Amino acid sequence: MSATAPGFETSSEHRCFGGVVGFYRHDAATTACSMRFAVFVPPQAGSGRVPVLYYLAGLTCTEETFMIKAGAQRVAAELGLMLVAPDTSPRGVTLPGDREAWDFGVGAGYYLDATQAPWDRHYRMESYVTRELPALVEAGFPADPGRRGIFGHSMGGHGALTLALKNPGQYRSVSAFAPIAAASRSPWGRKAFASYLGPDRGQWSAYDATELVLRVPDGPRRPPILIDQGLSDAFLETQLHPRVFEQACAKVGQRLTLRRHEGYDHGYYFISSFIEDHLRHHARLLA
């Protein structure tokens, strides 16, 4: 498949539920470094272009995490959904302090375009995810550019919500697992925003899902949002703030289904338990 595809190299490809899971790398213009991404191509792609669903992973994860741990390929093959998972940050560039903590720097790109040096040259994940990666995928794989969805987990749930809210014409469906739903109130978010975006909190609102929902009260015209949240999540009260996002959605009429689950934590056992519901949510909207 990828031997003649433009712009990227194949690391490995694996047959899976009648389709193919592949891992790829390319030189990215937006991040000025080599980037990695994974794609699951369902069997229906043999007959034409299929809907494409972008998954954004959380802190410390890579492009492999979702494909290995979530158990999504069986249902995606049934529904004819292509799955694309980018890496969570630039890698292979050395910046001061980028490896000193697990919640900042490498593995923690926050799906934003940094404005502060030295991060602004490479940490441009918003542009990468919304522009460069879709162009690459749609040129090299049978992805339908008119049927894109986005979802993610934790930091990636934050990314899915913010990118969907900022680009309503680009994504026809959106969902999240345990997202950082009000990043300006989260210690994780405040730490990242202060370094990537600077001290001006007015700049932070462009990457805070709650602030974005409130900014333009056009909720009924946006895609409905599905969120699943475990009630035994250690980060629920301090980092994630789903209740704040829920209240903001109610205020402006944004359609939201927020499901709370007793006993579930923040990890991939939780995600794998509800991944089928999310894929079916997206398939309905992308049909």
For residues 65-89, one letter each, b for 16 or more C-beta atoms within 10 angstroms of the residue's C-beta and e for the rest, the string is bbbebbebbebbbbbbbbbbbbbbb
User: What is the residue whose two structure tokens read 């990468």?
Assistant: 128
Task: Please report the DSSP string for 183-251 in residue order.
Answer: GGGSHHHHHHHHHHT-S-HHHHGGG-HHHHHHHS--GGGSPPEEEEEETT-TTIIIII-HHHHHHHHHH
Specify the DSSP class assigned to residue 121.
G
Positions marked active-site:
154, 233, 266
Containing 21, the helix (H) or strand (E) segment is strand 19-28
